């Protein structure tokens, strides 16, 4: 049995609040012990962490994989490499593949293929509606039995209120959560960036903030009516965060996440028609960005997901109005989240919790924490080391990052999945 001892580490476990110097020992795929006064077994392979941070592998709860169906944008292998380079050891994929993950065979194909690659672990969501068409419920019960972690129509909102009501009601029979992309489609239709002064100046049609707020308000009513578990993805407006805050105060089973662009960038990043900054939901005004940070600080926003959406050059090298929505995010999830710590918005453990144990808890995943007997999914990080995001050097097949050229702090030196080193930074 392969034993590894990680010594001279700063052990960080956001789930338990642990932050102390010490060592961690793994045996095979499992963590067997960790703590301050641990001496490594004689037969262990030694990894000297040199005082740097050893943290649980990141859990990314919103990733678009593109395989099967659009392998020219990204594959399970390229996503796995991008994930492990960014410290992500578990990723949950949207069902918007081709074919759609709305039946067991596609779900099992993705899970099996990912296991074979042996990079980051992949867990699929099931579709809420057949073919993501928003008209007929998918087989929620059967998909649930096959291992779907929750249900979502991915980048499409479930816009029909009656369908949403039935989905919430039906999913709750299986203890399952519905994840909504909160955007009222008829209000957002034709819009390409946030509605406001910047869109007017650039002559681009806008997506009003109300498209998000109205959908959040409607769905909270439906969740209250059905007693269903509801989660909103990538909140981008201060008012939507506030609506969720009030719903939580009333004791409703509502949770939400946001993505790094919504607390690190504003609509100004669109600049002179930069298509890498064309995201869904769109980048909002500065006051919304600050309100999202406030939602992260007070716990209204439960987690941060990368919202990884790879696109090939042809989809992005177009006039802004015609370019595809979305940016890659697996390799920048950790470093942009660390900005919340470096800028003094959150302490280190609170920032890390949002990308480790918090998403794992939402999806009932055995991941995102340092625990005896748990899988040895670990990341060695130098949180203070600076570098510059360079799209051309990314592991992802697609290079469409909204953070290209941004100076950041925090370097992943080693990523371990089930006790195996799957990524190591060149010296």
Residue 160: CA atoms inside 13 Å, Cβ hemisphere, count? 13
Q: For residues 265 and 5, give the distance between their C-alpha atoms in angstroms, rounded to a whole number.
A: 40
Contact 60, 377 (CB under 8 A): no
HEC assignment per residue over 101-162: CCCHHHHHHHHHHHHHHCCCEEEECECCEHHHCCCCECCHHHHHHCCCCCEECCCCCCCCHH
Residue from 401, 275, 409 nearest 329 by CA? 401
Query: Tell me, what's the pLDDT at 259?
Result: 98
pLDDT at residue number 427: 66
Collapsed DSSP state (helix, strand, coil) of residue 234:
coil
Q: Which residues pair with 151 in a beta bridge?
A: 126, 178
Low-confidence ranges of the chain (pLDDT < 70): 427
Nearest Cα to Cα of residue 91 among 62, 132, 115: 62
Q: What is the pTM of this model?
A: 0.97
CB 258 within 8 A of CB 266: no
Alpha-carbon span 422 to 183, nearest angstrom? 37
What is the Cα–Cα distance from 218 to 285, expressed in whole angstroms?
23
Determine the 3-state secondary structure of 281 from DSSP: coil
SS3 192: coil
CA distance 184 to 159: 7
For 196, counting Cβ atoms within 10 Å of its Cβ (0-12 exposed, 13-18 middle, 19+ buried), the class is middle
Domain spans of the chain, in order of start = 55-362
For residue 32, give the 3-state DSSP assignment: strand
392 is a catalytic site residue: no
* Pick from 129, 239, 125, 211: nearest CA to 176: 125
Residue 297's DSSP bridge partners are none
Dist CA 112 CA 55 (whole Å): 27
User: For position 113, what pLDDT does the model report?
Assistant: 87
Q: In angstroms, rounded to a whole number, what is the distance separating the alpha carbons of residues 354 and 331?
A: 16
Q: What is the SS3 assignment for 223?
A: helix
Q: What fold characterizes domain 55-362?
A: TIM Barrel (3.20.20)
- Would you list the DSSP string of 303-369? EE---B----HHHHSS-TTTSPP-B--TTTHHHHHHHHHHTTSS-HHHHHHTTTHHHHHHTT-S-SS
Active-site choice (60, 288, 307, 377): 307
């Amino acid at each position: 049995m392969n034993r590894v001892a990680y010594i001279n580490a700063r052990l960080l476990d956001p789930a338990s609040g642990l932050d102390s110097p010490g060592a961690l020992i793994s045996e095979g795929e499992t963590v067997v012990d960790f703590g301050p006064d641990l001496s490594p077994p004689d037969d262990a392979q030694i990894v000297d962490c040199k005082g740097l941070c050893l943290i649980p592998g990141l859990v990314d709860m919103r990733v678009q994989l593109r395989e099967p169906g659009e392998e020219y944008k990204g594959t399970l292998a390229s996503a796995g490499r991008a994930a492990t380079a960014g410290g992500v050891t578990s990723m949950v994929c949207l069902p918007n593949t081709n074919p759609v993950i709305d039946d067991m065979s596609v779900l099992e194909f993705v899970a099996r293929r990912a296991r074979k690659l042996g990079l980051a672990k992949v867990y699929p969501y099931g579709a809420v509606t057949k073919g993501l068409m928003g008209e007929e419920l998918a087989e929620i019960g059967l998909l649930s039995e096959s291992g779907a972690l929750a249900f979502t129509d991915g980048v499409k909102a479930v816009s029909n209120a009656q369908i949403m009501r039935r989905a919430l009601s039906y999913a709750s029979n299986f203890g399952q959560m519905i994840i909504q992309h909160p955007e009222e489609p008829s209000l957002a239709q034709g819009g390409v960036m946030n509605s406001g002064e910047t869109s007017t100046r650039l002559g681009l049609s806008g997506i009003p903030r109300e498209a998000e707020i109205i959908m959040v308000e409607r769905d909270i009513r439906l969740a209250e009516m059905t007693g269903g578990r509801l989660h909103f993805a990538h909140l981008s407006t201060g008012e939507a965060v506030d609506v969720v805050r009030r719903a939580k105060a009333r004791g409703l089973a509502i949770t939400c996440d946001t993505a790094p662009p919504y607390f690190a960038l504003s609509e100004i990043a669109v600049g002179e028609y930069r298509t890498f900054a064309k995201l869904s939901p769109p980048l909002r005004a500065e006051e919304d960005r600050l309100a999202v940070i406030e939602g992260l600080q007070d716990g209204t926003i439960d987690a941060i997901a990368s919202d990884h959406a790879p696109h090939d050059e042809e989809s992005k090298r177009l006039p802004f109005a015609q370019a595809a929505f979305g940016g890659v995010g697996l390799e920048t999830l950790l470093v942009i989240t660390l900005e919340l710590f470096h800028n003094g918005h959150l302490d280190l453990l609170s920032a890390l919790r949002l990308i480790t144990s918090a998403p794992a808890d939402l999806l009932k995943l055995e991941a995102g924490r340092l625990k005896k007997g748990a899988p040895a999914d670990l990341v060695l990080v130098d949180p203070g080391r600076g570098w510059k995001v360079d799209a051309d050097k990314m592991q992802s097949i697609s290079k469409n990052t909204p953070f290209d050229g941004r100076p950041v702090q925090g370097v992943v030196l080693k990523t371990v999945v089930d006790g195996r080193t799957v990524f190591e930074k060149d010296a």
